Amino acid sequence: MAKLAELGIPTYVTCEPLLDFDLPELTSLVKMCHPLQVNIGRNSRRDVPLPEPEAEKVKALIKVVGTFTKVEVKKNANYWLK
């Protein structure tokens, strides 16, 4: 992804379903991609349980990633923003 961005090819990152994560590590990986936008979504398959992050962690991710690119939170992820 970093090479694509360096070649001038627009990149986007989608974190859906967003699983539990390490904030510094995920932020570093996303930043490395030089995305024009990051999309964040929640597990839409409620019958398939996945390890989701706590709301405060997601808010921190949105804040940090928002310092270097646009962040789009899908409607199904608004749960974390309440």
Q: Where are the domains of the chain?
A: 2-81
Q: Tokens 């379903």: give the residue.
A: 17
Contacts for 62 with CB less than 8 Å, ≥ 6 apart: 40, 71, 73
Q: State pTM to two decimals.
A: 0.92
* pLDDT one-digit tens code per residue, 32-78: 999 999 999 999 888 999 999 999 999 999 999 999 999 999 999 99
pLDDT of residue 61: 98
Residues 21, 58: Cα–Cα separation, whole Å: 9
Contact status, residue 50 vs residue 75, Cβ threshold 8 Å: no
pLDDT of residue 33: 95
CA torsion sign for 63, 65, 68, 72 is negative
